[in-house]
Amino acid sequence: MCTITILRGVHPRHPLLVAANRDEYRSRAWDPPALLHPSPRAWGGRDRAKGGTWLGVTERGFFVGLTNQRTYRPADPSRRSRGEVVTEALRLNETARVEALLGALDPRDYNPFNLVFGDLSALRVAYVRPEGLQVHPLGDGVHVLANDRLRAPTMPKTLRAEALARALPEGPWEAVQHRLGALLGDHHTPEDGLLPEPPAGALMPRMLLKALQALCVHAGVYGTVSSTVLSLGRERVERYLFAPGPPCRTAFTEVPR
């Protein structure tokens, strides 16, 4: 489960910014971002358990990020890897081609997920559920995708991320990077009265659900295991930073390309 914050047409110097946390079981093995495809050249982390990735970017500034849809119960291990969809979408390297890929999938083959993909010319969010697929265009503004639809009432953490993102300074990259790092490392959780009630039959205790509403999650064996910051220009990647641990205490470094 992850949180992906996107700023499109918001900052005067950086037209497309992405700040993302990956939340996962700490015991699940993974590799930091490296070359995934030689042509088109695409980079991203790799999940050793299933072989896919959770977020990546191509040399022409096309990015793809995935979040699991929260179901309040364990995922079905017999279904296909959602991370493979991200890897294939990066290979396609074009919004319209990724839409066609999603349209050809049988959503029942996967545990439910959300996908955001695109570049400066076109940006989309897709919701893949057993009952079907929905794809929506995203315009300029701040968009935060967590483990449900955009601005879903079950995810008050997204409103927190939106507010922090809108306070981004207009200064040099160092100031922008610092503020995005602070957003990703934020530990704020909503007051108990603002915490959504879990659905009947949910297997997650309320205390865990509250911990998961932080942007930087620390919940024992589960939590934020890495973070990514992207600055994307037209047809290029300006900056690609990665922190191989919780962003509240792990430094970001530039990914070699």
Q: How many CB atoms lie within 10 A of CB 186?
A: 19
Whole-number average pLDDT of the chain: 95
Whether the per-residue pLDDT at 1 is higher than 80: the answer is: no
Cα–Cα dist 56/64, whole Å: 6
| pLDDT of the residue at 194 | 81
Read off the pLDDT band of 200 (50, 70, 90): confident
What number of H helices and E strands is found in the chain?
Answer: 5, 14
CATH code of the domain containing 169: 3.60.60.10
Residue-wise pLDDT for 141-191, tens only, equals 999 999 999 999 999 999 999 999 999 999 899 999 999 999 999 999 998
Within 13 Å, how many C-alpha atoms sit on residue 177's CB side? Answer: 17
| pLDDT of the residue at 73 | 84
Measure CA of the first residue to CA of the last residue in the chain; give whole Å: 27
The stretch 123-129 carries a mean pLDDT of 98
| pLDDT of the residue at 230 | 98
Whether the per-residue pLDDT at 232 is higher than 80: the answer is: yes
The stretch 218-235 carries a mean pLDDT of 97
Whether the per-residue pLDDT at 245 is higher than 90: the answer is: yes
Residue-wise pLDDT for 70-83, tens only, equals 998 889 999 999 99
Q: What are the contacts of 72-80 at 24+ separation with CB within 8 A?
A: 72/198, 72/199, 72/201, 72/202, 72/203, 72/204, 73/201, 73/202, 73/203, 74/203, 75/111, 76/111, 79/109, 79/110, 79/111, 80/109, 80/110
The stretch 2-22 carries a mean pLDDT of 97
Q: Take residue 64 and report the two structure tokens written for it.
A: 């793809």
Taking a C-beta distance cutoff of 8 angstroms, is the pair 63, 232 a contact? yes
Q: How many CB atoms lie within 10 A of CB 34?
A: 13
Q: Take residue 23 and report the two structure tokens written for it.
A: 């939340």
Label residue 27 left, alpha or beta by phi (over 0 means left) and psi (-120 to 50 means alpha). Answer: alpha
> By residue range, what is the domain housing residue 117?
2-254
Whether the per-residue pLDDT at 140 is higher than 80: the answer is: yes
User: In this predicted model, which residue has the larger pLDDT, 167 or 202?
Assistant: 167
Q: How many residues does the chain have?
A: 257
Backbone angles phi, psi at 67, to 5 degrees: -130, 145
Residue 163, CA distances (Å) to 142, 171, 228 in order: 9, 18, 19
What's the structural domain count of the chain?
A: 1
Cα–Cα dist 72/5, whole Å: 23
